[in-house]
Amino acid sequence: MHYRGRFAPSPSGALHFGSLVAAVGSFVRARAEGGAWLVRMEDIDPPREIPGAASDILATLGAFGMRADEPVVYQSLRDTAYDRAFARLRDADLVFPCWCSRVDLEASAGIHRGACRAAPDTTRGPAWRLRAPDVDVSFIDLLQGTQAQNLRRDVGDFVIRRVEGWFAYQLAVVVDDADAAITEVVRGSDLLDSTPRQIHLQQLLGLQTPAYLHLPVVLDADGRKLSKADHARPVDRCEPLAALRMAIDFLGLEVGAGVTPAALLERAIDSFSVARLRGANGAHVGTAECET
């Protein structure tokens, strides 16, 4: 099958170094495989979005030499597809309405234990949760090795549609990756523990499971993941070379002497192999610091 990869930023702020690493990793991998690289804007969480961030991210990717091979997909325009998947799960009685409050969930360490079943607060709309079965979902990550999670024990019944009516990331990502015929998901290892939920949803919906390759995440000096929510400093699209070199180096690939983003990416593509990625061969994952 022809390789199809993707980068799926959330427009909750400008592109920062951590997301640049995920963008470069997915782009270089797709090109090294002679495949297509797509971009999907994950704009289904309005409270966390910043106006203008989506176009800003796309402009930054362009300045770093990365342009999607197909039109950018916006999750905010894909409710019909999510609704179809949701209806299918509901018709199969795999989901249930949940009125649990934040306090209920905190009392059970964030895992749904059915507190709302005793006294549903029907004065407000429910969230919809997928029943988590008592099964171990396992997969082989191309970089992180074998992963396994028991959905009921480790995650619990999880939200696929939020109280406000928005579809949750776990459902949207599965529908979108399948509709775009993504063959391999390359993203940060902060999403490693979402993957079993996504594989389970793929199985319920009769969708193909892509291959997975989770890259090490960039941590700040205090050992926390850089995230837009914490106002990690955006990369400067007027000066892409230094940050691009640093991202390629962080991934463990060869940083050439190129003086354009395209030339730097070309060298990284030529030098690409999963075995030389940072985090391969059991190296400790996710402890690098970044000065940006």
Binding site for ligand GLU (CB under 6 A): 8-10, 42, 173, 187, 191
Phi, psi dihedral angles at 124 (to 5 degrees): -130, 165
Comparison of 100 and 186: residue with beta carbon closer to ligand GLU: 186
CB of 41 to ligand GLU, least distance (A): 9
**Short-list 171, 173, 167, 165, CA closest to 73:** 173
Q: Give the 3-state secondary structure percentages of the chain, helix then strand then coil, rounded to 5.
A: 40, 20, 40
CB of 29 to ligand GLU, least distance (A): 13
Read off the tokens for 148: 């396994």
Comparison of 38 and 100: residue with beta carbon closer to ligand GLU: 38
**Three-state SS at 104:** helix
CB of 186 to ligand GLU, least distance (A): 8
**Short-list 180, 139, 185, CA closest to 25:** 185
Comparison of 55 and 122: residue with beta carbon closer to ligand GLU: 55
**Could you tell me if 36 and 3 are in contact, meaning their C-beta atoms sit under 8 angstroms apart?**
yes
Comparison of 31 and 187: residue with beta carbon closer to ligand GLU: 187
CB of 75 to ligand GLU, least distance (A): 9
Comparison of 210 and 252: residue with beta carbon closer to ligand GLU: 210
CB of 268 to ligand GLU, least distance (A): 20
Comparison of 112 and 187: residue with beta carbon closer to ligand GLU: 187
Query: Which strand (E) or helix (H) includes residue 234?
Result: none
Distance, in Å, from the CA atom of 236 to the CA atom of 255, rounded to the nearest integer, reads 19
Instruction: Give the angle subtended at the CA of 41 by the CAs of 36 and 46, to the nearest 5°.
Output: 170
Comparison of 43 and 157: residue with beta carbon closer to ligand GLU: 43
Strands 145-150 and 158-161: unpaired
CB of 42 to ligand GLU, least distance (A): 4
CB of 96 to ligand GLU, least distance (A): 25
Helices (H), the chain: 17-32, 53-63, 79-91, 102-107, 115-118, 169-179, 195-204, 240-251, 261-270
